Amino acid sequence: MSKKASSEPQQPTSQTLTHADLEWKENGQPVSTTFDDVYFSTVSGLKETHHVFIDSNALPERFEALKQNDCFTIGETGFGTGLNFLCAWALFEQIAPATARLHFVSTEKYPLSQKDLQQALSMWPELSEYSKPLVECYMPAMEGQQHFSFAMGRIKLTLCLGDVLKTLPDLEGKVDAWFLDGFSPAKNPDMWQPELFTAMAAKSHLETTYATFTSARGVRDGLSEAGFSVEKTIGFGHKREMVKGRLIKEPEVRVNKPLWFQDNLQPEVSDSNRSAVIVGGGLAGCSTAMALAERGWKVTLLEQHNGLAREASGNPQGILYTKLSANRTPLSRFITEGYLYTIHLLKSLVSQQPELWQQSGVVQLAINEKVRKRHLELTQHFPNDLLSFLTASELSDVAGLPVEQDGLYFPEAGWVHPALFCQTLAHHENINIVTNTQLQSLEKAEKGWTLNLNGGNRIQSQHVIIACAKASTLLPQMNFIPLKNIRGQITEIEATKESSHLKTTVCGEGYAAPAFHCKHTIGATFDFNNESTEVTDEGHQKNLMMQKECAPALYHALGGEQATILDGRASFRCTTPDYLPAVGTIVDQEQFLEDFAMLRKNVKHHFTQTPKYLEGLYINAGHGSRGLITAPLSGELLAAQLSGECSPITSDLLNHLSPTRFLVRGMSRNQI
């Protein structure tokens, strides 16, 4: 857990969205009271979806024609009940080749509550196999991107929550077919603006098609001006006409981010070079391995120890701990999105490994006035199914043991067994785990990289991902990334009869997790300038003292001064100065310092060239005290990037994770 709060100055804004306000027709159909419009045709929602969106985008033919490992991306305006998504998924499973994948990116300003979603989708029992996992997803109504994976990773869903005019321009990647839905232009004029069509064009390529239920004049004109062809065709049900078309004129590329973050490195991945070497078998390496393996990549995962998760990722219990900020800082946004993704992932993996995690809920105690104020402020900015502020007495009921302070309760969170998480992530037929293998240096090869390993062994790979935490910076190619180690020690305490009542993880200065195999993990120390992995009594005492101070009753339940210390573990959190991990491509450092020298004089200088990248080289490191939350989503975004797919996070967040940011900052502050 990080000691310092992020300091980016931003105005607090509520991140909570309003759920859709619905009325129900007699036939079970939802109607929006806000827009006074139906979610789908009164004639037949299913048939409408097929006629308007699926057939008019020629999806049956296009799905069938997909090649091995191809990913087809659908973009949609207005997720609503998810009916269009489910129909596209069902069709994809029926006719696309087994190794092809579907990424459905949708936008929504007024998400349905889980109860309403379930009720609306109960209209389609023929889709229940697909709607059940969708309804089971936890989707708090809040701004930002939420990412989900179904059917063993074959189907991905990214929900961009918020107004489409704001969310669509932030999408990173291109769409193959648009479902231009949304209530009718007459009832929802704010959405059908020229900006919508411009944003769609910017996220399209010359084979991108679209289809929409409306043939309103303003929509046709807007689409045409944005560069799409406009073809009127027979509408569905009571609608005489609808419109479909394709992008026929690519828009001028508008650079909306600094050139040093322009990633000109979308690799051309054919099946023959869909293989990668990942170095580092912790949470970062294993998450990346799984995300690539799901996309058909053959992954070699190298680890220097004789098993996975032997360093920071090896604790017996880790907590899904979020330190959120009322401001929409990049850090807070990434943590929230990572938190939601990890929970989704854990839920989908737990059937493979029942001891993977416990959704015990997490309590964050308001340990002083400042924290209490921050907690109360957070409740104004986040939906209360994500977090709520409870009194000490309410928290005691939740925790199963008395706690003395009020605080936040995160009902969806819990504790995870990080080592089992790593093993489960890396358990895939496309992943070859090679242990006792240390990367010693990396040389540019004619095609890709030569990895020099211990014992004089060498291997080559076109794509190399370094996930070695702080040791990543031993490689000269990455030594500009300011990764720092902070030692942490955890203590394992024997459960007592009383402490076994603890039902949730309780966090104050430190944390205590519910008993697992009759042991509680309590932790964790923060030891600066200490590079030793030796477990110390002093560390154990510090951990116990944190419990004594913040949660005295819990401390006593654990045995107080007579607590039985069974074991302990010390390892290192690898942090960055801004607490965001370093994830992405690596620039040629020397060349960058030369090409962007003007940054030292004028950070706003108009540069015309993009950086030279070390092609095929990537990093995923610097996850600090919350790798459980940030590493899986980082793995997913790297895999999407390597596969040339739409990113699960927005374009501006990608910049905030880019390792290049440290060069830019250092140069603009004249520190390098």
Ligand X SMILES: C[S@@+](CC[C@H](N)C(=O)[O-])C[C@H]1O[C@@H](n2cnc3c(N)ncnc32)[C@H](O)[C@@H]1O
Ligand Y SMILES: Cc1cc2nc3c(=O)[nH]c(=O)nc-3n(C[C@H](O)[C@H](O)[C@H](O)COP(=O)(O)OP(=O)(O)OC[C@H]3O[C@@H](n4cnc5c(N)ncnc54)[C@H](O)[C@@H]3O)c2cc1C
Q: Return all residues near 285 (Cβ < 8 A) that are at least 6 apart.
A: 278, 279, 301, 303, 465, 467, 468, 620
**Residue 182 contact, options ligand Y, ligand X, none, Cβ 5-8 Å cut-off depending on partner type:** ligand X
Q: Which is nearer to ligand Y, 182 or 568 (CB)?
A: 568
Sole window of 161-169, 280-288, 544-552, 558-566 interacting with ligand Y (rule: CB under 6 A):
280-288
Q: Return all residues near 587 (Cβ < 8 A) that are at least 6 apart.
A: 260, 611, 612, 613, 614, 659, 660, 663
What tokens were used for 184? 């009718």
Q: Which is nearer to ligand Y, 489 or 643 (CB)?
A: 489
* Closest of 7, 12, 21, 84 to residue 49, by C-alpha: 84
Nearest distance from C-beta of residue 239 to ligand Y, angstroms = 50
Looking at the DSSP bridge assignments, the partners of residue 76 are 106, 179
Q: Which is nearer to ligand X, 28 or 476 (CB)?
A: 28
Residue with tokens 């290049």: 660
Enumerate the H helices of 519-587 as residue ranges. Answer: 537-550, 552-557
Q: Which of 439, 587, 640, 663 binds ligand Y (CB under 6 A)?
A: 439
The answer to whether the beta carbons of residues 160 and 106 sit under 8 Å apart is yes
**Residue 181 contact, options ligand X, ligand Y, none, Cβ 5-8 Å cut-off depending on partner type:** ligand X
* Closest of 162, 194, 151, 196 to residue 178, by C-alpha: 196
CA distances in angstroms from 590 to 26, 587, 595, 663, listed in the order given: 68, 9, 9, 11
Q: Which of 105, 120, 142, 284 binds ligand Y (CB under 6 A)?
A: 284
Instruction: State the residues that interact with ligand X by CB under 6 A.
Output: 20, 39-40, 78-84, 107-110, 163-164, 181-183, 188, 190-191
Q: Rule CB under 6 A: say whether 145 interacts with ligand Y.
A: no
Q: Which is nearer to ligand Y, 86 or 312 (CB)?
A: 312
Q: Give the separation between CA 304 and CA 435, rounded to whole angstroms.
A: 6
| DSSP one-letter code for 69 | T
Q: Which is nearer to ligand Y, 265 or 631 (CB)?
A: 631
CA distances in angstroms from 197 to 223, 251, 478, listed in the order given: 6, 11, 40
Q: Which is nearer to ligand X, 81 or 589 (CB)?
A: 81
Q: Identify residue 507 by its one-letter amino acid code.
A: C
Q: Rule CB under 6 A: say whether 280 interacts with ligand Y.
A: yes
Q: Which is nearer to ligand Y, 164 or 363 (CB)?
A: 363
Among positions 85-114, residues that touch ligand Y (CB under 6 A) are none
Q: Which is nearer to ligand X, 20 or 284 (CB)?
A: 20
Nearest distance from C-beta of residue 373 to ligand Y, angstroms = 24
**Residue 665 contact, options ligand Y, ligand X, none, Cβ 5-8 Å cut-off depending on partner type:** none
Q: Give the separation between CA 502 and CA 506, rounded to whole angstroms.
A: 9
Nearest distance from C-beta of residue 650 to ligand Y, angstroms = 22
Nearest distance from C-beta of residue 179 to ligand X, angstroms = 7
Q: Which is nearer to ligand Y, 88 or 420 (CB)?
A: 420
Nearest distance from C-beta of residue 89 to ligand X, angstroms = 12
* Closest of 70, 67, 672, 625 to residue 312, by C-alpha: 625
For 413, phi and psi rounded to 5 degrees?
-80, -175
Binding mask 402-421 for ligand Y (x = CB under 6 A): ----------------x---
Q: Which of 45, 285, 338, 539 binds ligand Y (CB under 6 A)?
A: 285
Q: Which is nearer to ligand Y, 371 or 434 (CB)?
A: 434
Collapsing DSSP to helix, strand or coil, 520 comes out as: strand
Q: Rule CB under 6 A: say whether 326 interacts with ligand Y.
A: no
Q: Which of 131, 304, 360, 589 binds ligand Y (CB under 6 A)?
A: 304
Q: Return all residues near 220 (Cβ < 8 A) that are at least 6 apart.
A: 230, 232, 243
Nearest distance from C-beta of residue 570 to ligand Y, angstroms = 7
> How many helices and strands (H and E) does the chain possess?
19, 31
Q: Give the separation between CA 342 and CA 329, rounded to whole angstroms.
A: 20
Q: Rule CB under 6 A: say whether 303 interacts with ligand Y.
A: yes
Q: For residue 443, how many other CB atoms are within 10 A of its CB?
A: 11
What tokens were used for 159? 């929900």
Q: Which is nearer to ligand X, 80 or 488 (CB)?
A: 80
Nearest distance from C-beta of residue 255 to ligand Y, angstroms = 32
Among positions 7-66, residues that touch ligand Y (CB under 6 A) are none
**Residue 303 contact, options ligand Y, ligand X, none, Cβ 5-8 Å cut-off depending on partner type:** ligand Y
Q: Rule CB under 6 A: say whether 573 interacts with ligand Y.
A: yes
The answer to whether the beta carbons of residues 131 and 53 sit under 8 Å apart is no
Q: Which is nearer to ligand Y, 211 or 413 (CB)?
A: 413
**Residue 625 contact, options ligand Y, ligand X, none, Cβ 5-8 Å cut-off depending on partner type:** ligand Y
Q: Rule CB under 6 A: say whether 323 interacts with ligand Y.
A: no
Number of residues binding to ligand Y, judged by CB under 6 A: 43
Q: Which is nearer to ligand X, 185 or 568 (CB)?
A: 185
Sole window of 15-23, 104-112, 314-322, 607-615 interacting with ligand Y (rule: CB under 6 A):
314-322
Q: Give the separation between CA 290 and CA 352, rounded to whole angstroms.
A: 14
Among positions 622-651, residues that touch ligand Y (CB under 6 A) are 623-629, 631
Q: Rule CB under 6 A: say whether 318 interacts with ligand Y.
A: yes
* Closest of 482, 490, 529 to residue 512, by C-alpha: 490
**Residue 571 contact, options ligand Y, ligand X, none, Cβ 5-8 Å cut-off depending on partner type:** ligand Y
- Strand 505-507, strand 362-365: pairing: parallel
* The three-state (H, E, C) secondary structure of 236-288, written as one string: CCCCCEEEEEEECCCCCCCCCCCHHHCCCCCCCCCHHHCEEEEECCCHHHHHH
Nearest distance from C-beta of residue 578 to ligand X, angstroms = 31
CA distances in angstroms from 506 to 314, 346, 399, listed in the order given: 21, 20, 8
Q: Which is nearer to ligand X, 82 or 539 (CB)?
A: 82
Sole window of 154-162, 214-222, 233-241, 618-626 interacting with ligand Y (rule: CB under 6 A):
618-626
Among positions 509-538, residues that touch ligand Y (CB under 6 A) are 523-524
Q: Rule CB under 6 A: say whether 572 interacts with ligand Y.
A: yes
The answer to whether the beta carbons of residues 222 and 196 sit under 8 Å apart is yes
Nearest distance from C-beta of residue 622 to ligand Y, angstroms = 7
Q: Which is nearer to ligand X, 75 or 510 (CB)?
A: 75
Residues binding ligand Y (CB under 6 A): 279-285, 302-305, 310-313, 315, 318-319, 321, 418, 438-439, 467-469, 471, 488, 490, 523-524, 571-574, 621, 623-629, 631
